[in-house]
């Protein structure tokens, strides 16, 4: 999939992907002097959350009103270059695919145009009680499909 990701990236028009700035603090780093590898998953989730919020989807309301929560099903991450304390990262988020109850994101952490970490993350919508897949409402699916283009 790494090759596939690289191809897609080359074809990117920067204007279509959502962006979120994230500053690197002490909490994000480890004794190797770089951002700890698990923390990119935190950065990517912050970016997906803000992306959903801009679409009008508030996850805590969705949980309270419709008992639906988003969970991550699959993750693929490639670490290219380390990030360090005080770096200002830009997280790019693109929707690759929208299914009946799932979204596949491609997300990248960049610093001054340099790719540090890229990932492919599959998110599923599930029922908060049963933990079973719960299809998006038609309205939400339409919204997501539109955001894909």
Q: Which residues bind a second copy (CB under 8 A)?
A: 2, 23, 25-27, 29-34, 36-39, 41-42, 45-46, 49, 58-61, 63, 69, 71-79, 82, 84-86, 128, 131
- The DSSP string of 16-30 is GSEEEEEE--GGGB-
Rounded Cα–Cα distance for residues 128 and 64 (Å): 10
139 is catalytic: no
92: β partners: 19, 108
**C-beta closer to a second copy: residue 88 or 146:** 88
Distance in Å, CB of 99 to a second copy, minimum: 16
**Active-site position among 12, 21, 30, 112:** 30
**Closer to a second copy by Cβ: residue 64 or 142:** 64
**Closer of 61 and 114 to a second copy (Cβ):** 61
**Angle in degrees, CA 144, 2, 125, rounded to 5:** 30
Phi, then psi, of 86 in degrees rounded to 5: 80, -5
Catalytic residues: 30
């Amino acid at each position: 999939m790494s090759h596939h990701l690289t191809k897609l990236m080359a074809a990117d028009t920067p204007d279509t992907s959502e962006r979120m700035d994230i500053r690197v603090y002490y909490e994000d780093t480890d004794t190797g002097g770089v951002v700890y590898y698990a923390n990119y998953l935190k950065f990517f989730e912050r970016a997906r959350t803000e992306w959903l919020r801009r679409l009008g989807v508030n996850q805590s309301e969705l949980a309270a009103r419709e008992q639906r929560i988003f969970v991550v099903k699959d993750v693929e991450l490639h670490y290219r270059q380390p990030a360090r304390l005080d770096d200002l990262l830009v997280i790019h988020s693109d929707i690759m695919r929208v299914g009946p109850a799932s979204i596949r994101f491609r997300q990248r952490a960049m610093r001054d145009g340099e790719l540090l970490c890229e990932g492919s993350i599959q998110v599923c919508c599930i029922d908060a009680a049963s933990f079973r897949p719960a299809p998006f409402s038609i309205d939400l699916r339409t919204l997501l499909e539109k955001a894909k283009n």
